[in-house]
Every structure is written in C-alpha cells, then in structure tokens.
Structure 1
Amino acid sequence: MSTPDLFHELWSPEVIENPFPLYARMRQAAPVARSHHPSVAGPIWVVCRYHAAVEFLKDNRFAKSKQKLGRESQRRYFRVSALKHLDQHMLSADPPMHTRLRSLVAQAFTARRVEALRPRITAIAEQLLDSVQQQDRVDLLDAFAFPLPITVIAELLGVPVEDQDRFREWTTTFLTPPKDGDVAPLRRMAQEFQAYLQEFLARRRAEPRDDLASAMIAAEEQGDRLSPVELMSMVFLLLVAGHETTVNLIGNGIWALLKHPEQLERLRAAPALLDSAVEEMLRYCGPVKHSTSRFTLEDTEFHGQHIPAGEMVVAGLVSANHDAEVFPEPERFDIARQPNRHIAFGSGIHFCLGAPLALLEAKLSFRLLLERLPQLRFAVEPSTLRWRDSLLIHGLERLPVTF
C-alpha cells in the first residue's frame, strides 16, 4: 500500500524558503514519500531518509535512460522534445553507455589535473575580489560565486568565457520549473543552447585546441567516438553541472556562516577547520536539493512502498543529510562535525564527477573571502533572502553583502 499524496506542499513557496520542517515530517512518515509537482504530469517519489537514499542511488532497478520508458511515461515526464538533443550524456545513461561516456571525460577531473588548476582558480578569485573590494556592497552571487566556476569550466572546455551571461540565463531557464505549464521558454532555451553548441563544436572540429572539447572530439574509447548529439550533450552537461554546484556551494556556505556568526569566528580563529567546514556546508545546506531522476521499469517494491512501472523517483539529498539517525542534532551547523558522511554529491556510479573541482574552488574561495573581507556581513535582513524555485537546485536568488 503506497503512502497517500500528503506532500504536495513540497513544491510550495513556503517550503522552498524553508524545506527542513517538511522534510522532517516526510522522514518520520516513511522512507519514501509520493508527491506531485505542478509542472510534471506524473507522480514524483522522493526517497527522503539517508540509508534508503544511499541504497536507492546504487540500485540498478531504477533506470536513468528515458529511452527505456514506455511512450506514456515519456509523455508525462518529458514534454519538451527539443531537449532530446541535449540529454544524451552520462547523467541520462545506464551502464554500459554510462561507463563509456564517463570514461571519456574522467581524465579531465583526476586529482592531479584538478590540483594543477589551483593557480588559475586562485588568480581568478583574486581578480574578482579586487573588483568586489572597490564597492561598498555587492551581490556575492553575481560578483563572485557565479563568475568564478563558470570561468573555470569555460576555460577547461574551451568555450568563450565572455558568453557566461548567456550560459547563466539558459541554465536558469533549464533548472526552473515551467510556470503554469508553459514550456515555451524551455523550448526556446534548448533551441538557442543547441544552436550555440553546434556552432562552437564546428569551430573546434575545424581548429582543435588544447581544451576538453577538442579532446572529446578526438577521443576514442575502444574505437568508439562520441556521436555529434552525445558530444553536444556532454558539453551541455559539463557547462551546466560544472558551475551550478559550485555557485550554490559558495553562496549557501557564506549564507550559513553569516547566519551562524559563532561558527564564522571559530573558522577565522582556526583556519585548519576549513576542510571540515566545507563538508558541513555541503551537509547542512547542500547545493543540490534532489538527485537527478530515475525511473522504475517495472512495478517495484522499495522500503515498503509499491512504485508502479514508469514513475519518477529521486533521492532527497538535502533531506537525507538532515536525517537524525545518521547526523546527531542535524539542524545544528557545526564546522567541526565528525564523522560527516553526507551525500551532497550523490552516491554510486553517478557520484558527481566534478566533486574534486567543486571542492577545490570552494575551499580556495572561502579562504580568500575570509582573508580579504574580514568584516563580511549580510547587507539585508537574512529573512528577506529568497531561494530558487527549482526541482533540482538548492540555492539563493541573490546574496547582498557588505564588508
């Protein structure tokens, strides 16, 4: 017997601003909760307890590829056909396709290659802070948290950094649920992004450079190159995922520190706590609200729930990271928390490939922000800050600060 639809409010404006009380109710009710989102025609199952979420993320009964779904399920969950040219990437694939796609880009994110980016990331951050310090008040998302990671991933891919505002606009549209069922902005975004990537990749084919896009064009894995749609989809994924996680890790992390001034002072007094502080930011206010979607291919029993074939299931990452069975006093922000086995970057074969890069960018950012802005504080009443309406992302719309 499935849980009744008690959690429609999961997507309400009130819960978007503060989801934690509802997540606590959901965890208490059942490991898996059923809901509906107004922009999605089918139900969404949310795995909200920690151990169940870890199990779900490793369970191959839940498929990523929409190609395995029947026509009715595809109609309910995928209403913008233009996106099909941007979703043939590793986050939408199951093994063996996932294994093949991931292996083609994995070398760009090894610990050695990521560490080699440290001087460049530091230089970008220093330059951004030079500009910030010339002002009395800034939106830290606009002035620092967004341009840093988008510059890094754009340079890594070889995409023109000066196009970053277009990437931000397209990404925001992609990650924001359609209002009143209007998918026109999403369709327009897909067409514009696709046209942009086709032109960019055509230039790279004609004039290869020392960048990741050129490497993916040339790459061969057991004699099998990426198809044009796979290549475009992978660049799309890396551009979107390569900055969104870090933008919100930095923004949410600063928000948490400023909301808990005793922890901020603790970190200033003991900079060696930076590594554990970043891990606690990921647990306490992680940048990804829910995992990307999986689907049941047949009727499935999971933690006492009967999930019909062809329905969407996601892991509630933020909810799981506040599960008191794993994290004592989960609503307490503690920069020295140990152990801290959060799943902010997911788990299993789809664990975030860019996690080492996001961590390096975040740690360098927080170190420099605390060093160069010792009087950093909110420029507005914290209660007036608003969180983004997104199925996937947990992040602020803006973060005005002064220093």
Structure 2
Amino acid sequence: MTMANPTYPMTRQCPMSPPAQYADLRAHGPARVDLPDGGWAWLLTGYDDVRQAMNDPRFSSDDTKMGRARTELPPNENLNSFWRMDEPEHGRQRHMMMSEFTAKRIKEWRPRIQKLVDELLDRLQSLPRPLDLYAEFALALPTQVIAQLLGVPQQDYRTFAEQSRTILSLDKPEESWAAYYKMNDYLNRLIDEREREPQDDLISRLITERVLTGELPREDLLPMVRFILVSGYETTTSQIALSALTLMTNPDVRDRLIEDPDRVTAFVEESLRFWSVSQDNVLRVVDQDMTFSGAAMTTGDLVILAVPGANHDASAFPDPERFDLERGENRHVAFGFGTHLCAGASLARREVEIAVTSLLARLPGIRLACDIEDLTFRHKSLVYGLERLPVTW
C-alpha cells in the first residue's frame, strides 16, 4: 500500500511554532508533498538541508526551469526580479542596489529611523486606548522607511502597503494578481516621473547610474523595484509586531531587556529565528539530476525550503520552541544564506532593534488588550504575521 504524500502548505497548529508535521518529516530527509495546483514538490525541513540548498548551484532560483507549468501564474507572466535569477546575472543585478545597504548607509539611516520611531510613538501616546499596535506602529515604520528609500510619495504609502499585502496572500489568487498589476502600473508611472525629474532616492539613482548607462535594461528595473518595495516592508512589519508580542508574553525577557538594553541584538536574532516569518516563499528548482540528502531528484523538480523548519531543528537549535535570549551564536536562516542572503537584512535588523528599544523605553508597561487566543494570525500568506495587535498600557 502506497502512503499518500502530505499536503503543502501546512498550517501552524500553535501560532508560536512551525507546523508540527515538520518535525516528523525532518527525520526522514526531503519529503514529497502535494501542492494545491495538483503538482508536487520536495520539501526540505532540516537545518543542514535547507542551508546547503540555499547556496548549492545545483538548485536554481529560476522557476521557469520547472518541469511543469506554474498554473497559478498568469499566462506569459515573467517574474524576472533578481531574486529569481541565478549567477552571474543575480549577482550583477544585486550589486547594483547594494550600495544602498552598506554598513555606512545603514549607519546614516539610523537617525532617520529613530526620528520616525519617535514620531510614531508620540502619536501613539496621544491616541485612545486600546489601540492596534500593528497598524499604528509595526506597519507604519517599515512602510515609511522603504518608501523614503525608494522615493514613493507620502500620500501613496497606504496604497502600496495594501497592495503588497494582497500580493503576498495565498488565499485569493485572483485578488493577488489584480493587486500585482496595479502595483506594476503605479511603479511604471513612478519610474517615468523619476526619468523626467530625478530625485535623491534609489529609483532615481538606478535610472541615472544603471539604466541610462546601459548596465540595466529598462524592463528589468520594474521587477527590481517591485521586489524591493514588497519584500522590504512586509517581513519587517511582521517581525516588529511579533517581536512586540514576544515582549508582552515573555515578561522575563522584557524585564531583562529593560535592565540591559544592550541585549537587544540577541533578542532580535532570536526573534528572527523563533518566528521565521518567511514561511512559504523560498523556492528552488533542481538544475541537474542528483541525489540530495538521500533523495533522488530530477532536473525540473520543484523544491521548497522550509525556513521555519530549519530554524526549529533541534540539532541546530536545542529546545527550539523556547525563546532563549541566551542562545549564543544564532546561525538562523531567516534572511537566507549564501549568494541569496537578503540584501536588506542589515536595514531590517536596525529597524527592529530601534523599534523594540524605543517601545520598551517609552512604554515599558505595554501589554495585550485581549487574550492571546483572540489574536488572528495570517497563515495563508507568503509572510507569517498578525492581522492586528490590540495593546494598552
């Protein structure tokens, strides 16, 4: 009798932990899982497997190499951002934007981020309570940071944030693609404006330094900007909200941070590992027939790298379901690994650090304004997170 493949994606039974099936699957190496579109994929849930696959050239990031069509994509749609490219083109395009994310640039951004945080907390303290910390703080900060970086006008912040969330949803594909096309139309208009009148922002610099010099084709600029915009705020938003939830549900951790604010770096790294918000969006395609971790893989096979599974692998992180501020070296893969390591990782870390430190300094008594069982988590999304976070103090 042949056992049926598990169905993917899998839902977190406990909102604080990855799907329970990951632990069972991890013991047997790569597993075949059935997908909603009728196809199947390999699922990697072990830390060593995921980390190796992230940096193994035999696994391609180009999903057009799949041995079957991606039925959830519109016909002839090319999602050719550098995130979905292999070397050397991936590295060439990634290099074009890395000047915005160097240690020097992040240091320059720190006062601007702190100013935004202070302004948001000033407003927060003037609002009636309880209030939604997700909307008023966790969403507002990364939205403004990435919008200012790219040069998105302030009046458009809310629009692009709503479209980005819809794009990342797995619940209603038709709505996701409608938002995707609206985002493309908006960004094309913005790029046209920056071509006519360059400003001090990333889009303008990419146009003047890369497109006009012939280094970057004009048609590749849109997917690059779209990827930075969508990915640059959504994951950080979720991470800030979930980090705040951690403080409110772990008083010992909160008290330790109040006593020793220098522990905030360790807190952020553990929060990145613990929550692993990039839950369903790291895909690879087998680029050559091979045996990987005992599994016979064929060219064109789709492979899903389960970041939450890897970051909760007890062989790499003892007692992984415990939030441990003293974990020490925390080699999580929340930002990926190797050549595809998230370009904006340093910026995201600084945003979360500043948000957490300032929140505790200004509102040390902040607490949930509802039972934790009443919180709604976003399971059907490429990025895990909360819908709302009611708080008071």
CA–CA distance in 1 between the matches of 2:335 and 2:256? 26
CA–CA distance in 2 between the matches of 1:78 and 1:96? 28
CA–CA distance in 2 between the matches of 1:219 and 1:5? 53
CA–CA distance in 2 between the matches of 1:149 and 1:286? 18
Q: Secondary structure at the match of 1:113?
A: helix
Cα deviation digits, residues 94-149 of structure 1 (max 9, x gap): 11110111011010100000110111101111111111112312211100011101
Q: Secondary structure at the match of 2:70?
A: helix
1:396 corresponds in structure 2 to 386
TM superposition shift of 1:79: 2.2
1:143 corresponds in structure 2 to 136
Q: Secondary structure at the match of 1:295?
A: strand
Q: Secondary structure at the match of 2:315?
A: coil
Q: Secondary structure at the match of 2:210?
A: coil
1:31 and 2:29 matched: yes
Question: Which residues in structure 2 correspond to 1:4-403 (within 5 Å)?
Answer: 5-8=4-7, 10-12=9-11, 14=13, 18-28=17-27, 30-38=28-36, 40-69=37-66, 73=68, 75-81=69-75, 83-84=77-78, 87-135=79-127, 136-179=129-172, 183-220=173-210, 224-390=214-380, 392-403=382-393
Q: Secondary structure at the match of 1:380?
A: coil
Larger deviation, residues 8-17 vs 271-280: 8-17
Q: What 5-or-longer segments of structure 2 have no aligned partner?
A: none
Q: Secondary structure at the match of 2:377?
A: coil
The normalised TM-score by structure 2 is 0.93
CA–CA distance in 1 between the matches of 2:235 and 2:266? 18
CA–CA distance in 2 between the matches of 1:285 and 1:198? 34
Cα deviation digits, residues 11-51 of structure 1 (max 9, x gap): 347477753422222223x222222332x342132211111
The Cα RMSD (Å) is 2.2
CA–CA distance in 1 between the matches of 2:22 and 2:9? 8
- Shift of the 292–306 alpha-carbon distance from structure 1 to 2, 3 Å rule, reads same
TM superposition shift of 1:216: 0.6
Q: Is the 8 Å Cα contact of residues 65 and 92 (structure 1) preserved in structure 2?
A: yes
TM superposition shift of 1:359: 0.6
Q: Is the 8 Å Cα contact of residues 89 and 230 (structure 1) preserved in structure 2?
A: yes
Aligned amino acid, residue 169 of structure 2: T
CA–CA distance in 1 between the matches of 2:241 and 2:292? 35
CA–CA distance in 1 between the matches of 2:126 and 2:381? 36
Q: Secondary structure at the match of 2:31?
A: strand
- Shift of the 221–187 alpha-carbon distance from structure 1 to 2, 3 Å rule, reads closer
Q: Is the 8 Å Cα contact of residues 282 and 306 (structure 2) preserved in structure 1?
A: no
Aligned amino acid, residue 94 of structure 1: D
CA–CA distance in 2 between the matches of 1:368 and 1:152? 16
- Shift of the 6–41 alpha-carbon distance from structure 1 to 2, 3 Å rule, reads closer
Q: Secondary structure at the match of 1:248?
A: helix
TM superposition shift of 1:221: 8.9
Q: Secondary structure at the match of 1:341?
A: coil
CA–CA distance in 2 between the matches of 1:229 and 1:78? 23
CA–CA distance in 1 between the matches of 2:213 and 2:281? 32
Q: Secondary structure at the match of 1:313?
A: strand
CA–CA distance in 2 between the matches of 1:13 and 1:361? 27
The normalised TM-score by structure 1 is 0.91
Q: Is the 8 Å Cα contact of residues 13 and 19 (structure 2) preserved in structure 1?
A: no
Aligned amino acid, residue 231 of structure 1: L
Q: Is the 8 Å Cα contact of residues 287 and 299 (structure 2) preserved in structure 1?
A: yes
CA–CA distance in 1 between the matches of 2:339 and 2:65? 19
CA–CA distance in 2 between the matches of 1:100 and 1:41? 35
- Shift of the 364–64 alpha-carbon distance from structure 1 to 2, 3 Å rule, reads same
Cα deviation digits, residues 340-363 of structure 1 (max 9, x gap): 111111101000000000011111
CA–CA distance in 1 between the matches of 2:340 and 2:321? 27
CA–CA distance in 1 between the matches of 2:278 and 2:208? 32
CA–CA distance in 2 between the matches of 1:163 and 1:307? 45
CA–CA distance in 2 between the matches of 1:358 and 1:194? 24
Q: Is the 8 Å Cα contact of residues 66 and 92 (structure 1) preserved in structure 2?
A: yes
Q: Is the 8 Å Cα contact of residues 12 and 19 (structure 2) preserved in structure 1?
A: no
CA–CA distance in 2 between the matches of 1:123 and 1:381? 32
Aligned amino acid, residue 42 of structure 1: G
TM superposition shift of 1:386: 2.0
